[in-house]
Amino acid sequence: MVALDRALGGQDIETGDTTDESKVENLGDALAKYQANRGPEHKALIRLARCGAPYQYRQPWRRDRLGKFFWTANVVFRMFLNKLSFGKIPPAAIVVMQQHDLSYRQVMRRAAVASRAIKTALLAFIWYKF
């Protein structure tokens, strides 16, 4: 809300300073500036909610219980890989999210690094075996 207020007030979104470059002529410009600044963070937050903790509540359907089992196995596997690689492969997003100094984009970027490492290792294993 602070960033939106700063954008509407013609201030710099990050610092709150009023400069000539940060002045906006109309509401559309202010909203475009806000969207350009905060849009990627909002997208990362939505992605985190969808894949970081999709089964945080007890779900009655069998497919959701099965999904929760596989999601939990994924988190445990990523924690294992994190320990095995001495921290080179980041843990699951739900664990990285607990670090309050990281933005949602940084959390999801680290999760993407771990996903790429897992996919690469899996493809290398399949290619090696066949």
Type and span of the H or E element at 105? helix 104-129
Distance CA 60, CA 119 (A): 31
Identify which has the larger pLDDT, 52 or 124: 124
pLDDT tens-place string over residues 77-95: 999 989 998 988 888 888 8
| Domain-wise residue ranges, the chain | 1-51, 60-130
Distance CA 68, CA 4 (A): 36
pLDDT tens-place string over residues 94-129: 888 888 899 889 999 888 888 888 899 889 999 998
Residue 25's CB is within 10 A of a number of other CB atoms, namely: 8
User: CB of 10 within 8 A of CB of 22?
Assistant: yes
Distance CA 85, CA 41 (A): 28
Reported residue count of the chain is 130
Amino acid letter at 102? L
